[in-house]
Amino acid sequence: MPTKTIKVDYLARVEGEGALDLFIEGGEVKSANLRIFEPPRFFEAFLRGRSYKELPDIVARICGICPIAYQMSATHAVENAFGVSIGGQLRALRRLIYCGEWIESHALHVLMLHAPDFLGYPDGIAMSRDHGEIVRGGLKLKKAGNDLMRLLGGREIHPVSIRAGGFYHVPRKRDFEPIAEDLRRAHEIAVALLRWVGTFEFPELEQDYEFVALRHPHEYPFNEGRLVSSKGIDIDIADYESIFEERHVAHSTALHSVIKDRGAYLVGPLARYALNFDRLSPDVQALAGEAGLGPVCRNPFKSIIVRSVELVHACEEALRVIAAYEEPDRPFVQVEPRAATGFGCTEAPRGICWHRYDFNAEGDIEKARIVPPTSQNQPSIEADLKEVAGMMVDEPDDVIRHRCEQAIRNYDPCISCSAHFLKLQVHRS
Amino acid sequence: MAGRRVVVIGLGNPDRGDDGLGPYVAERLAGRLSAGASLKMRTGDGLGLLDDWQGFEVAIIIDAAAPVGAPGRIHRIELETSGELPVVSQTSSHGFGFDEAFALASSMNMLPGRVIVYAVEGNSFDHGTGLTAAVAAFAEEVAVRVVEEVAGLLAGDGPGPIST
């Protein structure tokens, strides 16, 4: 039986190294394997024996774009283990630095990495020739996020001021004055960006995802909440392992996460939005509606709109935290180690980032488990690819290739975080 | 060159062997540049270069270069800041480097009037390592040449050679 192969050696505009194999038989897509061949980095192994005090600085090194996610999940796990709860302004500052990370990460992805797909440009640089004003605005938006991370974290990449119990240093109220002005401008830019992406044409695709995200009683989630799904899961984060499991697959150095009973699930902007629409402000909800979204979005290509909604939200939330900020008496609360297991789960830009650590009485790590968002989304990415390619099997290979790459970029995948990304091979028979 | 504004930017990652050459030279330049010149370091996101050189007439970039035979060899290159857009390949969401920043700035008219690059051939770019001795030995020579170039620019000397 004749076989046809389409091959993309490396997917552009994602982070990390991997490949995609599409197997097409008799005009039907039999399988879509996301082949991740980047070597694992063994963070969980070399955390063993390290003190809880070193944990935030080590896990920050997992990712240059979303270090806050790893730092926040880790510090929450430490505090969970040692029986400490962070409230007041320290808690608010954690939301604020997370706003910074969402802003810089989403702005980069929406503008420089994802938008070119919808407008027919090979990349953001080529797009900037025709859309210079929007790109300049997006860079200002990204910078506002980076500035927040630098102010609170000491630097924007691998911040150094996060510690169990709070921060090594917190800003004075007047330190926020210039950044608040930039954030007001960033908010206007984010609203314009949302309206702009809402005008794009989107491929028709509705997927029956099981959305999984944190849900908090009052807030659109960053750091805290119960783990809920669109198909009835509602658990404490400590019970994650009772519902979800990671499996080895032959074609990937990243583990695949599934719901034990049902298989693939989806984390990230679409899931957060669908499960927490009512936690967005009326203004943000109205803007989402103007951009063409209902309270639930099941078209993965429209994730660019949802990310833009979250950009507006993050700017709004950051301004809210800054307006209410009063410098706390101390930048951290004291943490006393004890032998215990702690859990942390926070909303990275790409979805939930779940951590579990076993500590001994001195607070040294005996065992670590880190489940990043991209590894959780791999089965859903493959399901999307099978569906997307299935709708266009008779198209030329380069058309299939482009659309599949676009489908992968819907997820803003961070392969290095998950392995743990992209060559595309289509095998036709 | 009264009134001209010059920024010197040491570019690179100090945790990647000889890639740390730019920041290393920038540290050595502290307090040595002529009044009126600014000194910056860019150790992470390359897109930040667009902010680093915004408002300056001349940007001098100190960066490590891929080895082409002689570790430590210094190349002075003045880039064409007008005309055809350079073609770059953006392959990573995380790794915007100098090439991408220059191309992006060029397409949006966000480049300084002149961009001069001191590119020093590296030897090793391993994770978690410092400069190799062969490359570190040339850091002071780069620093001296940059100090002289900045002084010349601010004193109104004409442009240097396009490439050496």
pLDDT above 90 as % of chain A = 71
Mutate to test the interface with A, among B43, B84, B94 (most CBs of A within 10 A): B94
Partner-chain contact A128 B108, CB within 8 Å: yes
DSSP-assigned beta bridge partners for residue A21: A33, A425
Partner-chain contact B88 A125, CB within 8 Å: yes
Average pLDDT in the A317-325 region? 98
Partner-chain contact A15 B51, CB within 8 Å: no
- The number of beta carbons lying within 10 Å of the beta carbon of residue A403 is 19
Instruction: Flag whether pLDDT at A197 surpasses 80.
Output: yes
Torsion angle in degrees (nearest 10) through CA of A301, A302, A304, A306: -140
Q: Which residue of A has its CA nearest to B50?
A: A139
Q: What is the pLDDT of residue A255?
A: 79
Q: Which residues of A touch B43 (CB under 8 A)?
A: 157
Partner-chain contact B50 A139, CB within 8 Å: yes
Partner-chain contact B109 A128, CB within 8 Å: no
Q: How far apart, in Å, are the Cα atoms of B95 and each of A333, B45, B126? A: 36, 7, 17
Q: For residues B62-77, b (16+ Cβ closer than 10 Å) or e, as one string? A: bbbbebeeebbebebe
Helices marked H in chain B: 21-29, 49-52, 98-107, 133-136, 139-155
Q: What is the pLDDT of residue A287?
A: 98
Q: How confident is the model at residue A1 (pLDDT cuts 50, 70, 90)?
A: very low
Mutate to test the interface with B, among A125, A127, A405 (most CBs of B within 10 A): A125
Q: What is the pLDDT of residue B43?
A: 85
* B127–A contact, CB cutoff 8 A: no
SS3 A421: coil
How many angstroms separate the CA of residue A90 from the nearest CA in chain B? 27
How many angstroms separate the CA of residue A157 from the nearest CA in chain B? 7
* Dist CA A40 CA B19 (whole Å): 23
Amino acid at A417: C
Q: Considering only A22-36, A128-142, B74-88, B150-164, which range has the smallest mean pLDDT?
A: B150-164
CB-neighbour burial class of residue B128 (10 A; exposed 0-12, middle 13-18, buried 19+): exposed
How many angstroms separate the CA of residue B11 from the nearest CA in chain A? 15
Quick one: which of A137, A144, A247 has its CA closest to A194? A137
pTM of the model: 0.90
Quick one: which of A70, A317, A13 has its CA closest to A190? A317
Mutate to test the interface with A, among B87, B89, B93 (most CBs of A within 10 A): B93
Partner-chain contact B91 A12, CB within 8 Å: yes
Which residue segments constitute the domains of chain A, with CATH numbers given? Answer: 4-203+324-428 (1.10.645.10)
Beta strand ranges found along A4-90 (DSSP E):
7-8, 18-25, 28-36
Q: Which residue of A has its CA nearest to B107?
A: A129
Q: How confident is the model at residue A429 (pLDDT cuts 50, 70, 90)?
A: low
Q: What is the pLDDT of residue A426?
A: 59
Partner-chain contact B108 A12, CB within 8 Å: no
Q: What is the pLDDT of residue B89?
A: 53
Instruction: Flag whether pLDDT at A40 surpasses 90.
Output: no
* Dist CA B47 CA B49 (whole Å): 5
Contact A234, A214 (CB under 8 A): no
Q: What is the pLDDT of residue A80?
A: 98
DSSP-assigned beta bridge partners for residue A252: A36
Q: How far apart, in Å, are the Cα atoms of B48 and each of A142, A355, B87? A: 10, 31, 20
| Angle between the N-to-C axes of helices A177-197 and A303-323, in degrees from 0 to 180, rounded to the nearest 10 | 160
Query: Could you tell me the two tokens for A108?
Result: 């980069």
* Dist CA B130 CA B109 (whole Å): 36
Instruction: Flag whether pLDDT at A107 surpasses 90.
Output: yes
> What's the mean per-residue pLDDT of chain A?
90
Q: Considering only A25-39, A83-97, A204-218, B21-35, which range has the smallest mean pLDDT?
A: A25-39
Partner-chain contact B90 A125, CB within 8 Å: yes
Query: Could you tell me the two tokens for A382?
Result: 């493959």
Q: How far apart, in Å, are the Cα atoms of A324 and each of A22, A92, A299, A320, A329? A: 52, 9, 37, 6, 15
Chain A residues with a Cβ under 8 Å from any Cβ in chain B: 10, 12-16, 63-65, 108-109, 112-113, 123-126, 128-129, 132, 135-136, 139, 142-143, 146, 155-157, 412, 414, 416
Q: Which residues of A touch B48 (CB under 8 A)?
A: 143, 146
Query: Could you tell me the two tokens for A421?
Result: 């990304």
Query: Could you tell me the two tokens for B105?
Result: 């700035």
ipTM of the complex: 0.81
State pLDDT tens for residues A359-414.
999 999 999 999 989 889 989 999 999 999 999 988 888 888 888 888 988 988 77
How many angstroms separate the CA of residue A342 from the nearest CA in chain B? 30
Q: What is the pLDDT of residue A420?
A: 28
Query: Could you tell me the two tokens for B99?
Result: 């090439």
Q: Which residues of B touch A157 (CB under 8 A)?
A: 43-45
DSSP A162-218: EETTEES----GGGGHHHHHHHHHHHHHHHHHHHHHTTS----------BEEEE-SS
Select the highest-mean-pLDDT range: A14-28, A248-262, A368-382.
Answer: A368-382
Q: What is the pLDDT of residue A64?
A: 78
Helices marked H in A294-396: 303-323, 373-390
Q: Considering only A22-36, A47-61, A133-147, A282-296, which range has the smallest mean pLDDT?
A: A22-36
State pLDDT tens for residues A43-85.
888 899 999 999 999 999 888 788 999 999 999 999 999 999 9
How many angstroms separate the CA of residue A214 from the nearest CA in chain B? 26
Instruction: Flag whether pLDDT at A422 surpasses 50.
Output: no
* Dist CA A219 CA A366 (whole Å): 34
Q: What is the pLDDT of residue B161?
A: 43
Q: How confident is the model at residue A418 (pLDDT cuts 50, 70, 90)?
A: very low
How many angstroms separate the CA of residue A143 from the nearest CA in chain B? 8
Query: Could you tell me the two tokens for A403?
Result: 């659309």
* pLDDT per residue rounded down to tens, chain B (164 residues): 444 599 999 999 888 899 999 999 999 999 999 998 999 999 877 888 999 999 999 999 999 988 888 888 999 999 887 665 555 555 555 567 888 899 999 999 999 999 999 999 998 888 888 899 999 999 999 999 999 999 999 987 555 444 43
- The number of beta carbons lying within 10 Å of the beta carbon of residue A170 is 19
Q: Which of A12, A15, A143 sits opposite B94 (nearest CB)?
A: A15
Q: What is the pLDDT of residue B136?
A: 93
